[in-house]
Amino acid sequence: MKARNIALKIFEHGIENGFLTKDVWELTDVLDKRDRDFVRKLVYGTLRFNKSLDKTIDSFLRKPNKTPKRVRNLLKLGAYEILLLRVPEYASVNEYTEMVPYKFKGLVNAVLRSLAKSKENVSLNQSLPLWLYKTLKRDLRDDLDIYLKKSLGHELSIRAVKVEREKLKTEVSNLVNCKEMIYSPWGLTCSKGQNLKNAAFERGDFTFQDESSQLVAVAVDPKKDEKILDACGGVGTKASHFIQISPNSNVFYNDLNDKKRNIATSNFKRMGLFPTEMWNFDLLKDDISHLRLSFDKVLLDAPCSALGTLGKHPDVLLRIKQDDAEKKSNLQLEMLENVWGILKDGGTLTYSVCTVTKSETDGVISNFLKRHKDAKCVDPFSGKYEFGFNGFGIQLLKYMEGFYISKIVKV
């Protein structure tokens, strides 16, 4: 199957399911590296600009409502290629024309050729649902442009685990161009996408992790003999980081999701970093009162609207709903309430989310502080970085990804 056919399949899977699963990317295994990169760029980009491309295509169709879904999807991929990837018309129009049944060949050919001549301007902000654009404009103000720019793509980020960062840089430099991250002392940013799952990865020399996420360990600051809980441990990236930094601390991992726990188990094994215990409590339903006052530190890396990850996961746009941030912020507050009780006096609760809405960030924290007179927010990085602590937490969007960290002390 040719690259564009595979791109169409993956794109349609995303539209139908609201998710791009790891399995569907396996379709690209038959392609060489260049084509694999092309498919990834094409699918991610078309998903990101999906809504704007729909509007653009409509303006070139005589009967937009009568155009079959498959033909419309194909036109969107073609339009993205021509208008945003700037692939020359001669290199793509014929390919897309070949992909449709005979009766639509004329239509596809004509629309894509007209598009190529039009040099239509397709913008990302028009690809966001209007309510989302308004929310982001209200919450981010002058930083909205930064947000939109960062949503256009994503560099690969890795964290050195078993080897020093310099050694890791040498190890992977034959595959990708890397540079040291500015703020995380463990991180490398890799500019050229390549399959990095090589021997060094299998040996546990590194793991994939964004810079903002690496800074969570700086905020938690794990120390020898401390009892630390990663309450929403996911695939174990942050818990493994705590163990890496402080092997003599006691790191506990929890996540209610079986699939995530299984991946975390194999990640811990690969990196040779094992938590003291692994749990599967549902933080919203299960009684965890037997753990009362037992932890020095708790991390709540809470489920969120994930709007800070649009560069990496444009499929977020396919499933986001208008009341998501509000609903999530209620759950985040409830989770904070539930883990607060298991923290020792003098202990710290670190809260993080990979999003940028005010309700899920400062909003949650300010509501929490109103309910707890024994809670005090501190600069998560104790003055180490000048990110601008606003009394609740820090939004890292200006410096790296859209990601929020807050640190609460139980006084």
Ligand X SMILES: C[S@@+](CC[C@H](N)C(=O)[O-])C[C@H]1O[C@@H](n2cnc3c(N)ncnc32)[C@H](O)[C@@H]1O
In the complex, the residues that contact ligand X under the rule CB under 6 A are 232-235, 237-238, 255-257, 260, 282-284, 301, 303
Minimum CB separation of residue 242 from ligand X in Å reads 11
Closer of 33 and 319 to ligand X (Cβ): 319
Minimum CB separation of residue 316 from ligand X in Å reads 13
Minimum CB separation of residue 352 from ligand X in Å reads 8
Q: CA gyration radius for the chain?
A: 23
Minimum CB separation of residue 183 from ligand X in Å reads 17
Closest CA to 37 of 193, 197, 196, 208: 193
Longest dimension (CA), the chain: 73
Closer of 78 and 234 to ligand X (Cβ): 234
Closer of 62 and 259 to ligand X (Cβ): 259
Kindly provide the b/e burial profile for residues 118-148, where b requires at least 16 CB atoms within 10 angstroms of the residue's own CB.
Answer: eebebebbebbeeebbebbeebbeebbeebb
Residues 6 or more apart whose CB falls under 8 angstroms from that of 332 comprise 300, 302, 303, 304, 351, 353, 360, 364
- From residue 83, give the alpha-carbon distance in Å to each of 89, 161, 315: 10, 41, 20
Closer of 389 and 403 to ligand X (Cβ): 403
Closer of 234 and 363 to ligand X (Cβ): 234
Minimum CB separation of residue 82 from ligand X in Å reads 37
Minimum CB separation of residue 406 from ligand X in Å reads 15
Closer of 58 and 282 to ligand X (Cβ): 282
Residues 6 or more apart whose CB falls under 8 angstroms from that of 180 comprise 165, 169, 187, 188, 189
Closer of 28 and 309 to ligand X (Cβ): 309
Q: What is the Cα–Cα distance from 186 to 377, expressed in whole angstroms?
A: 26
Minimum CB separation of residue 157 from ligand X in Å reads 13
CB atoms within 10 A of CB 23: 8
In the chain, the amino acid numbered 157 is S
Closer of 165 and 261 to ligand X (Cβ): 261
- From residue 14, give the alpha-carbon distance in Å to each of 7, 146, 195, 313: 11, 26, 22, 11
Minimum CB separation of residue 360 from ligand X in Å reads 11
Residue number with the smallest Cβ distance to ligand X: 234
Minimum CB separation of residue 158 from ligand X in Å reads 14
Closer of 151 and 309 to ligand X (Cβ): 309
Q: What is the Cα–Cα distance from 59 to 200, expressed in whole angstroms?
A: 50
